[in-house]
Amino acid sequence: MFPFPLPEGMSRRHFLRHLAGSATLIGPSLTLAHSLRAQATQLGKTHRSCILLWMGGGPPTIDLWDMKPSVPTGGTFKPISTSGAGQINELLPLLAGQMQHLSVVRSMSTREADHQRGRYYMHTGFVPNPNVQHPSYGAVVAHELAAQTADLEIPPFVSIGGASEGPGFLGMGYAPFQVDSRGRVRNLEMGVEASRRMDRSELLGALEGRFVRENRGSAASEHAKVLEKTFSLMTSPQMEAFRVEREPETVREQYGDTNFGRGCLMARRLVETGTPFVEVNMGGWDLHQNCFTTLQTKLPEMDQAMSALVADLVQRDLWQDTVVLWMGEFGRTPRINGNAGRDHWARSWSVVMGGGDIQGGRIVGATNEDGTKVTTEPYSSEDLMATVCKSMGISLKTSFTSNSGRPMKIANGGKVIDELFG
């Protein structure tokens, strides 16, 4: 026996088994192809998933979801009607046909108009604080659904094509697993035979455990935890979920041969596999210049991928178990600057959400004539997060204990946006 006291939740047998087991013996592709759908129905019953479509840089929501065609600062595009309420940009015709499933919240009003602060705030519900690192959406959801996703061997929080925000005080075990939109995970294969893996893990386990026991702070045990998760992932047939290229060509075409398209398709595969939180990044929205010409290429890419995702999830009966949220760190100025661009603007902007028990086809809130002010009840990141938690079946009474021992309410005590329900 090896004296091998590892951190909580990490059994030695597990550690060794993962290292000894070989992915090649299991035949991942075969297993997954057969079990994906069966698993999906099974997993769908036990927990919901969330897909965050993250528009890095801050999209000009005034040009997308809350258009102001009658004012000079409203931009150059025309609005079109949709299958739900309200109108959206003419460059989003496919989404217009899916809007019965999605609702637009036009009354977002926040204060953080700096990228880093805005990214942090919209991902956590908290403004940056020097003394505590708050967990982001993905970490919160992964943590809350941990019991229901015990069989998941791949990380519960995946970030595709971008970086997301960290797990904060929940620890590196809930960190986003970052992959590119082709799902390439580097360094998965260990090049030695099983018996040597066993030997190696025995010594590594002893080293790891000894250093943890020496009581030097959490970094040592966090390392051991992530190591355990890494072993689990290396040998898991569930890794097949990242192989987006295994999808039939017709499906891939629907989503579009773009980074965001592949990312959305991978998100669907991950949700089917039981991943509770997937973030898909579409960057390049920091449109200080040439806003309108850039949108002419960006919007069709987004339109195709996002509409395909919604349609696919609906068609596969996953919609009622998957919450989809589209947002960036803020909106952009209702004014147009000297470079035909729009600058950062947090005071009045829009997000889009649907799935779970969120009602589609609705427009929530409104802004004034030129989009500079929210004229209805303003909503914050906290409210949005509370809404997502509610629709994921996560209790808003949940409270975390940050490592300073301070209790911290989930979603920072935000209130649910009631207009999206019932």
Partner 1 sequence: MLDRRFYLWWVFSPMAAASLLLAQGSSCAAEKADSPGAGNSKKAEIVEQLLEPVDLINQQIRLGWRAHDVRPSRQATRGEWCRRVYLDLLGRVPTTGELDVFLSSPANTISRAALVDRLLGSEYRDQYARNWRSIWTNILIGRTGGSTRRERTNRAGMMEYLQESLRANKPYDRIVYELLTATGSTSPTEKDFNGATNFLVDKLAEKGVQATTKTAQIFLGLAVGCTQCHNHPFNEARQNQFWELNAFFRQAQVEVTRDPDNNGRIVNAMLTDVDFAGEGRSREADRRDEIVLEMRAGRLVDRDAVSLGAAPVFYELRNGQVRVAYPVFVDGTSLAEMFSKEYPDRGVEFGNSSAVRDVHRRRELADLVVASNYLELALVNRMWAHFFGRGFTRPIHDMGPHHPPSHPELLAGLGVAIRKADFDLKQLQRWMVLSDPYALSSRFSRNNAKDDPALGGPPLFSRFYLRQMQAEQLYESLLVATQAQQTVSTEERGQLKQRWLQQFSTAFGTDDQSESNTFNGSIPQMLMMLNGDLVERACSIGNGSFLDQIATDTQQTNREKINHLYLAALARQPTRQEIQICNRLLQSRGGDVAQSLQDIWWAVLNSNEFILIH
Q: Which of 381, 366, 412 is nearest to 123 (CA)?
A: 381
Q: Which one of 196, 257, 317, 418 is in contact with partner 1 (CB under 8 A)?
A: 196
CA pair distance 59, 74, nearest whole angstrom: 14
Binding to partner 1 (CB under 8 A) within 137-156 occurs at 155
Contact 296, 340 (CB under 8 A): no
Question: Judged by CB, which is closer to partner 1: 79, or 166?
Answer: 166
Give Cα separations from 215 to 169, 173, 211 (angstroms).
18, 19, 7
Listed in sequence order, the DSSP H helices in 9-128 are 12-20, 23-26, 28-46, 61-64, 93-96, 115-124
Q: What's the maximum distance between 2 C-alpha atoms anywhere in the chain?
A: 77
Binding to partner 1 (CB under 8 A) within 221-250 occurs at 222-224, 226-227, 229-230, 233-234
The tokens for 166 are 């960290």
The helix (H) or strand (E) run that includes residue 134 is none
CA pair distance 306, 410, nearest whole angstrom: 28
Q: Is 188 in the site for partner 1 (CB under 8 A)?
A: yes
Listed in sequence order, the DSSP H helices in 343-415 are 381-392
Q: Is 86 in the site for partner 1 (CB under 8 A)?
A: no
Q: Is 24 in the site for partner 1 (CB under 8 A)?
A: no
CA pair distance 331, 246, nearest whole angstrom: 36
Q: Which one of 90, 151, 199, 245 is in contact with partner 1 (CB under 8 A)?
A: 199
SS3 percent helix, strand, coil of the chain, rounded to 5, is: 45, 15, 40
Q: Is 194 in the site for partner 1 (CB under 8 A)?
A: no
Question: Judged by CB, which is closer to partner 1: 239, or 309?
Answer: 239
Q: Is 383 in the site for partner 1 (CB under 8 A)?
A: no
Q: Which one of 63, 153, 286, 303 is in contact with partner 1 (CB under 8 A)?
A: 286
Q: Which one of 132, 146, 311, 396 is in contact with partner 1 (CB under 8 A)?
A: 132
Q: Is 276 in the site for partner 1 (CB under 8 A)?
A: no
Binding to partner 1 (CB under 8 A) within 3-22 occurs at 3
Q: Is 219 in the site for partner 1 (CB under 8 A)?
A: yes
Contact 367, 378 (CB under 8 A): no
Q: Is 376 in the site for partner 1 (CB under 8 A)?
A: no
In the complex, the smallest distance separating the C-beta of residue 18 from partner 1, rounded to whole angstroms, is: 11
Q: Which one of 21, 28, 83, 117 is in contact with partner 1 (CB under 8 A)?
A: 117
CA torsion 157-161-164-167 (nearest 10°) is 30
Question: Judged by CB, which is closer to partner 1: 177, or 319?
Answer: 177
Question: Judged by CB, which is closer to partner 1: 104, or 287?
Answer: 287
Q: Is 70 in the site for partner 1 (CB under 8 A)?
A: no
Contact segment (CB under 8 A) with partner 1 among 53-61, 62-70, 235-243, 247-255 equals 53-61
Residue for token pair 């041969």: 257
Q: Which one of 169, 255, 277, 349 is in contact with partner 1 (CB under 8 A)?
A: 169
